[in-house]
Amino acid sequence: VMLFALVLPGRLFLLSIPLAVGALEALDRVNQLKISALSLPITFVDVRTVIADPAVFVNAVGIRDELNRIVSIAFGVVVFVLLASAFYKLRGYSFLDHLKLSRSRGKTRTRSSSFVLNVVALVVVLNAAQTCLVRYGRFVHAHITAKATNLGLELWLPSSQVILSQELGVLEYMAFSFAANNAADISLEHGLGPTVKELRLAAAAFVNSSVHRPKALLPNIVFFHAESTFDPAVAFRLSAHVELPLWSKQGETRALSPLRVNVIGGGSWVTEFEVLTGVDSRIFGYQGFYTHFDIAPKVKNSFVEYLVRKGYKTAAFYPVEGSFYNTEKAFRSYGFREFIDGRALRLPADWESLIDRDIIKAVIDHGAFKRAGPFFYFVGTSQNHGPHHCRSFESEQQFLTTFAAKVSFEQNCELNEYLKRATSTSDAFELVLYQLRQIESLTGRPFVLLVYGDHQPWSFTKGIYSVAGGTAARQGFKDFSGVRTSADGYQTFFHLLASDRTVVRNRFTKPPPASLLPTLVSAF
């Protein structure tokens, strides 16, 4: 109320009450929209993310052009109102004051003093509001955890968060989520860990660490992040397996296996964190879903830093803006010395327009593979992110494969839409592999190429996707459970290729976790 009273002309201060009520009602409506779409209320992380990069919200809603116009108009109106209010308060109620030069000095000083007081009052109110909300959030967090010992686990379930946000209010819940995230300590105390001897024995079952020659050239290493990619022949019963190079054995293949990830339908950043640090995100509980925000600043060591100490040049090539979900700051916390985002690569700003083979061509044109090694690159793709609407096929004769059961045309069509995009991802993979082979043939420097799927797309999980505290489901997605194999929705794949054929000595009998991958690569 005080905020509106300070902005409005003095004689209209009573309007501050209905405006404040209206603003809170609008916030509540937005909160309900987010709950209906994502099963979670608005949190402090959401606000911080959108303020840092509004394009995140625009791309998520999927109405970039329309929303850009709306936001531009709304922003213009707000700026105009604020400027008009400031001018009005500074110049007085009557434009005639400007013409009465004989009395203008005294009145100008009075108006200027009044304007300065209003600005000071506005700053005080904003600071007081922030302080009060922070203290309120800490108070609620302290009392909830003190009065109910089991509520800490139940609280972070999506349904519990929704209830709490409705009971507290939108602003109060955002304050609570801020306090809860900052108050939670990251602890790795899970009993006695394995001894160094036990770790060496476990590693020896899969790698031969005694084969390296002291003077051998260190290999170039590339992590190829295959967005929303999995081998459908492992997850589903199909009429025929589509043998894309991406998930088929090549001459340099050293391991090709299903992979266990901790997210489903979304949450790429969780898998990114795990393959760059070797740490399972579940250790951190609720915070483990916000790895790029909450965990990244506390990372002191990682696979990236391990390679930096060995003399590697490190760079991450990301297909979207580096500000998305705090990605650039997080990757630098993980140890990358360079971060090249979609804007620097001159890729389309609209996520739906990204083509994986074009992403890799942009990375090549950027000169990534012309640098002297050894280098370690993280290369992200984007094209297979869901949904996979049926758009490219008109008849079953055009399909590469179908489900080995009676399903609708649309379901088979969505499968083939996925495979069409996966073909682009596979082409992108082959482009990277070709560059590494060329470098080896010219310089003798070997290579290691790790390809992994970060999660299954929600198009094939009945709309189920990961959120903080569990999973949620989006309506309107088809049910593929009737054609699934025993592999659940948390299985993707990884493909490890390397020049050195003597390092990996065994096959995986069950899907390893994503957090094992950097350890496996380190053996090279």
Work out the pLDDT band at 192, boundaries 50, 70, 90.
Answer: low
Q: What is the pTM of this model?
A: 0.78
As a whole number, mean pLDDT of residues 310-323 equals 94
| DSSP-derived pairing of the beta strands 464-467 and 470-473 | antiparallel
Pick from 63, 66, 68: nearest CA to 352: 63
Let me know: does 472 contact 36? Beta carbons within 8 Å.
Answer: no
> Which of 19-33, 41-55, 424-438 reaches the highest mean pLDDT?
424-438
Instruction: Supply the pLDDT for residue 234.
Output: 94
**DSSP assignment of 66-84:** HHHHHHHHHHHHHHHHHHH
Instruction: Supply the pLDDT for residue 140.
Output: 82
Lowest mean pLDDT among 66-80, 258-272, 487-501: 66-80
Let me know: does 3 contact 123? Beta carbons within 8 Å.
Answer: no
78 burial level (CB within 10 Å; 0-12, 13-18, 19+): exposed
Work out the pLDDT band at 455, boundaries 50, 70, 90.
Answer: very high
Instruction: Supply the pLDDT for residue 93.
Output: 47
> Which of 94-103, 196-205, 507-516 reaches the highest mean pLDDT?
507-516
For the chain, the average pLDDT equals 85
- Residue 60: pLDDT above 70? no
As a whole number, mean pLDDT of residues 202-206 equals 83
Q: Residues of the chain with pLDDT > 70: what percent? A: 85
Instruction: Supply the pLDDT for residue 270.
Output: 95
As a whole number, mean pLDDT of residues 429-446 equals 96
Distance of CA 282 to the CA centre of its chain: 16
- Residue 63: pLDDT above 60? no
> Which of 182-186, 198-202, 431-435 reaches the highest mean pLDDT?
431-435
Task: Please calculate the CA angle 259-265-267 and round it to the nearest 5 degrees.
Answer: 80
Lowest mean pLDDT among 27-36, 170-179, 206-215, 425-434: 206-215
- Residue 155: pLDDT above 90? no
- Residue 67: pLDDT above 80? no
As a whole number, mean pLDDT of residues 429-449 equals 96
Residues 6 or more apart whose CB falls under 8 angstroms from that of 524 comprise 219, 221, 448, 498, 500, 503
The full 3-state SS of 128-151, as one line of letters, equals HHHHHHHHHHHHHHHHHHHHCCCH
- Residue 358: pLDDT above 90? yes
Instruction: Supply the pLDDT for residue 81.
Output: 75
Instruction: Supply the pLDDT for residue 517.
Output: 95
As a whole number, mean pLDDT of residues 20-34 equals 88
- Residue 258: pLDDT above 70? yes
Work out the pLDDT band at 124, boundaries 50, 70, 90.
Answer: confident
E runs forming strands in 141-217: none
As a whole number, mean pLDDT of residues 476-505 equals 92
- Residue 374: pLDDT above 60? yes
Q: Please state, in angstroms and rounded to a whole number, the distance separating the CA atoms of residues 214 and 346.
A: 41
- Residue 406: pLDDT above 70? yes
As a whole number, mean pLDDT of residues 29-53 equals 82
- Residue 111: pLDDT above 90? no
Work out the pLDDT band at 339, boundaries 50, 70, 90.
Answer: very high
Residues 6 or more apart whose CB falls under 8 angstroms from that of 160 comprise 154, 469
Work out the pLDDT band at 520, boundaries 50, 70, 90.
Answer: very high
Lowest mean pLDDT among 7-16, 83-92, 426-435, 473-482: 83-92
As a whole number, mean pLDDT of residues 22-46 equals 85
Instruction: Supply the pLDDT for residue 69.
Output: 66
Instruction: Supply the pLDDT for residue 56.
Output: 66
As a whole number, mean pLDDT of residues 174-178 equals 84
> Which of 6-10, 128-132, 294-298 reaches the highest mean pLDDT?
294-298
DSSP 513: B
Instruction: Supply the pLDDT for residue 317.
Output: 97
- Residue 102: pLDDT above 60? no
Instruction: Supply the pLDDT for residue 315.
Output: 97
The amino acid at residue 296 is A
Lowest mean pLDDT among 207-221, 405-419, 509-523: 207-221
- Residue 188: pLDDT above 60? no
- Residue 370: pLDDT above 60? yes
As a whole number, mean pLDDT of residues 9-25 equals 84
Instruction: Supply the pLDDT for residue 187.
Output: 54
